[in-house]
Structure 1
Amino acid sequence: MAWNEPGGNNQDPWGGKKGGDGPPDLDEALKSFQDKIGKIFGSSKGGGSGSGGASMGRLPIGILLVVLLVVYFVAGFYKVNEQERAVILRLGVYKETKSSGLHWNPAFIDEVIQENVTRKRFHSTQGTMLTEDLNIVDITLSVQYIISDARDFVLNVKEPEVSLRQATDSALRHVVGSNVMHEVLTEGRAAIAVDVQQRLQQYLDAYTTGILVDTVNIENSAPPREVQAAFDDVNKAREDEERVKNEAQTYANGIIPEARGRAQRTIEEANAYRDRVVAQSEGEAKRFEQLLTEYSKAPEVTRERLYLDAIQDVMANTSKVMVDVEGGNNMMYLPLDKIVERSQANLGGNRVELSQQVIDQLVDRTTEQVRREIMSSSRNTTRSPR
């Protein structure tokens, strides 16, 4: 019953009487408010409730529901960045994957898991492994990777990064165990890194982890410290071997072209000699044919000419002079070489070069003197019988 209805004794709901002059009692007001709340939630302590009380109770409930709905609606909004992907689970079941932008999903019903799919992530591992030739090496390897499929990364594997570490160790040990120690420690490191990346990607694809391996680098590879000195000696020996090979190759590169050049020059000289001899032979044969033609026309003249040419060729290459005096029976021999040597000895051993003109004058004078002596002796012989 309301406080102002008949029979209500005009009681003020705050404990004061109608027309009272004092302020309302705060304790009574609070107690009255608690009673109304209790009535709303079905915990009435007794006493009548009128229509006015019911209307006063329904008004706060509507406002509260509206506020709760607004809060719930606002809570469902979320933003996905450009480099992220959002995996939506509705009541624990995969629903969809959303890209960048502003999205809304019902709160407490849908679970939104956001993952950065463009950021490069890093993993490093180190271990001691056995090579194919039964040697032990220490290797440090790093892996850079990104998330290629957000759904697979979130749902298919419980801990995808743990799976990545285990797959990396497995792939590295498999590849190192298939190569010899020299390849692992020296020029084969790049090829080993490529093989590890390919094998690791195969493992991750088989597990459907949604991870894409971007780069695999072998940062360091070395033998154990206990055998480092022996390994350095082996490397030095290999370097010496390579140096000697390079020196031998350099020597071969210098000798072989030179020998080929000499061989080619000898071949060219032989070809030139052959061509010259053939040309001379052909010329002599042609000359003989022409001489035969002339000989058939005048045998005596040709024979005399041949004789004179032969004597001229022979005498031109000798230092001796034969003088034939007309009308005489004797031929005089002049040793010009001995005369020249004697003249040089008389000059004190000084070497004197005689020109061809001086020699010719000497020959002419000697010949003239000999001719005079022969003519004088001939006259004396003619006069003696008288």
Structure 2
Amino acid sequence: MNNNKKGASMAWNDNNNQTPPELDEVIKDFKNKFNSAFGGKSSGSSSGNSGASKAAKGSFKYIIILAFILWMATGIYIVDPAERGVVLRFGAFQTSATQGPHWHIPYPVESVYKINVEQIRSAEIGFRNVQNSYSGGVSSESLMLTKDENMVDVKLAVQYKVADAQAFLFNVFQPELTLSHVVQSVIRQVVGDNTMDYVLTTGREQVAQEVKVASQALLNEYNTGLMITAVTMQDAQPPIQLKAAFDDVVKAREDEQRYINEARAYANDIVPKARGASQRLLAEAEAYKSEVVSKSEGEAYRFNQILTEYTKAPDVTRERLYRETLEDVFSSTNKVIVDSSSNSMMYLPIDKLINSSRTPKSSSTGNSFQQTPSGSSNDQGVLRSRENR
């Protein structure tokens, strides 16, 4: 008993002097107490019931200390760079942790939820993908009414990620389901504000962009902590019952566009040619106009000159005009020289002599002078001319 008091007083003095025991002594003391607690022999200790009970109490204290240390160690956690840690104390939000090692009060006082805020998640509207294989449409989600009272089958793929881990966990129950419902509501509103042709053809990208903006506004209003990164229209077509008729309409529209393109190509080919021809006709008309006007002016000037000379000498002017007229007339007619001194009238066709002199001579050309029988048409014409004279 005195020894125990002495040992206790020495330990108290050691604690007051703040001189920790050696590690070997601590391990040895813990071993002795552990052996005594389970019926073993302890080195350097006296046998007896009192010593065994004290050893058991000491070993239990160390077990509690060890269990406490292990329990405290379970509060260590590591947050990855792509994650955010949310610490809850008795189920209520306490703090948020970024990447790196952290510690929290172990369960059941505090707990940690790790949320991946960089992972791109996806939601399907109007269809379902199972292991990257298309599994068909969901008509309750995809069929909707357009502005012109037509039915369309629209399928959307939405990509999103968690922007606020705290809001994602606590503000909305099942936030991903809320996102799906929000997108369905918005796409029905957008499709209902547009016509069927716009949704199926030219407005696909615009419709997807409007759905993204409006859906994100609602998610921010609900404070879901989600951020939509992309909205893609997977497919947009009329219901399967009307697909054949719609295909005919699409084919007719394509034929219309083809005919329009062909007409434009023909117009682009023929219009420049017509414009060139019109310009050529205009140029020729201007040239003809200039020629006629110039010729008319020249004739008028010549007439005025002749008139001036005629007033001075009418007889001479008349004779000159008569001779000039005969010259013009005879220059374009055949000229024949007639010998009327004999009964057999001879004539000389000068134009034929000129033509024969220009052509190669044949084997038998005959005489240059030809005798025509009396009573022929040529002789009668010559005689009539002589009688007239």
Range of TM-score over shorter length: 0.5 to 0.7
What is the alpha-carbon distance in structure 1 between the residues aligned to residue 356 and residue 69 of structure 2?
136
Residue 88 in 1 paired to residue 79 in 2?
Answer: no
CA distance in 2: counterparts of 1:335 and 1:70, whole angstroms: 154
Runs of 4+ in 1 over 6 A off after TM superposition: 277-289, 303-314, 355-358
Q: Does 1:267 align with 2:267?
A: no
Which of 154, 174, 186 does residue 169 from structure 2 map onto?
154
Range with greater deviation from structure 2 (53-62 or 70-79) = 53-62
Match of 2:186 among 146, 171, 184: 171
Are 2:74 and 1:75 aligned? yes
Q: Structure 2: which 5+ residue stretches go unaligned?
A: 3-35, 39-48, 127-141, 338-346, 360-368, 370-389
Picking from 225, 232, 253, the partner of 2:268 is 253
Q: Kindly indicate whether the alpha-carbon contact (under 8 Å) linking 1:148 and 1:211 is maintained by their aligned counterparts in 2.
A: yes
Instruction: Give 1:120's aligned amino acid.
Output: I
Q: Which has the larger radius of gyration?
A: 1
In the aligned structure 2, how far is the partner of 1:232 from the partner of 1:56? Answer: 93
Match of 1:319 among 324, 333, 339: 333
| Partners of 1:76 and 1:82 in 2: CA distance | 19
Q: What is the identity, as a one-letter code, of the residue corresponding to 1:229?
A: A
| Alpha-carbon separation, structure 2, partners of 1:232 and 1:221 | 13
Mapped contact 2:88–2:110 kept (Cα < 8 A) = yes
Q: Deviations over 1:3-35 (max 9, x none)?
A: xxxxxxxxxxxxxxxxxxxxxxxxxxxxx969x
Give the letter aligned to residue 83 of structure 1.
Answer: A
Displacement of 1:173: 0.9
Change (3 A) 1:357 1:161: same
Q: Determine the C-alpha separation between the residues in 2 that align with 1:99 and 1:335.
A: 131
Alpha-carbon distance in structure 1 between the residues aligned to 2:298 and 2:71: 123
8 Å contact from structure 1 (residues 319, 335) kept in 2: no
Hey, what's the Cα distance between the residues in 1 that align with 2:164 and 2:149?
40
Task: Show CA shifts across 1:324-376 (max 9, x none).
Answer: xxxxxxxxxx9968x53xx8xxxxxxxxx928978xxxxxx9xxxxxxxxxxx
Residue number in structure 1 paired with 2:110: 110
Distance 2:106 2:301 in 1: 121
Would you say how many aligned residue pairs link Structure 1 and Structure 2? Answer: 302
> Structure 1 residues 277, 101: closer, same or farther in 2, change over 3 A?
farther
**Cα separation, partners in 2 of 1:336 and 1:64, compared to 1, 3 Å:** farther
Q: Which amino acid aligns with 2:55?
A: M
- The 5 A counterparts of 1:129-278 are 129-273=144-288
- CA–CA distance in structure 1, aligned partners of residues 348 and 227 of structure 2: 109
SS state at 2:173 partner = coil
Please, what is the CA RMSD of the aligned residues? 4.7
Give TM-score scaled by structure 1 length: 0.61
- CA shift, 1:313, in A, is 6.5
3-state SS in 1 of match to 2:81: coil
Task: Label 1:285 to 1:67 Cα distance change in 2 as closer, same or farther (>3 A).
Answer: farther
What is the deviation of 1:58? 4.2
Contact 1:149 1:210 in 2 (8 A): yes
Partners of 1:88 and 1:247 lie apart in 2 by 70
Task: Give the deviation of 1:169 after TM superposition.
Answer: 0.8
Residues 144 and 153 in structure 2, CA contact (< 8 A), matched pair in contact too: yes
Partners of 2:112 and 2:298 in 1: how far apart?
109
Report deviation, 1:55.
4.0
Q: Secondary structure at the match of 2:102?
A: strand
Whether contact under 8 Å (2:155, 2:236) holds in the other structure is yes
Indicate how the Cα distance of structure 1 residues 105 and 288 shifts in structure 2: closer, same or farther if over 3 A, else same: farther
Contact residue 336 and residue 349 of structure 2 kept, 8 A: no
Equivalents in 2 of 1:309, 1:99: separation in Å?
121
What CA distance in whole angstroms lies between the structure 1 residues aligned with 2:336 and 2:96?
Answer: 128
After superposition, the C-alpha distances for 1:57-96 in whole angstroms (9 at most, x for unaligned) are 4422431243133213321211111211112333444343
Match of 1:354 in 2: 355
The answer on whether the counterparts of 2:37 and 2:56 sit within 8 Å (CA) in structure 1 is no
Do the aligned residues in 2 keep the contact of 1:320 with 1:335 (CA within 8 Å)?
Answer: no
Q: Secondary structure at the match of 2:106?
A: coil
Superposed displacement of residue 160, structure 1:
0.7
For 1:7-26, list aligned pairs within 5 A.
Answer: none
TM-score (ref. length: structure 2) = 0.61
The code of the aligned residue for 2:355 comes to L
Q: Which residue identity does 2:97 align to in structure 1?
A: K
Correspondence for 1:19: none
For residue 119 of structure 2, what is the aligned residue in structure 1? 119
Is the Cα contact below 8 Å between 1:86 and 1:97 reproduced in 2?
Answer: yes
Contact 2:119–2:161, Cα closer than 8 Å, also in 1: yes
Distance in 2 (CA, whole Å) between partners of 1:209 and 1:88 is 19
Does the 8 A contact of 1:176 with 1:192 survive in 2? yes
Q: Distance in 1 between matches of 2:97 and 2:356?
A: 116
**Alignment-derived partner of residue 368 in structure 1:** none
- Counterpart residue identity of residue 125, structure 1: I
Structure 1 pair 284–122 and aligned structure 2 pair: CA distance change class (3 A): same
Aligned position for 1:66: 65
**C-alpha distance 96-257 of structure 1, shift in aligned 2 (>3 A):** farther
In the other structure, the counterpart of 2:18 is: none
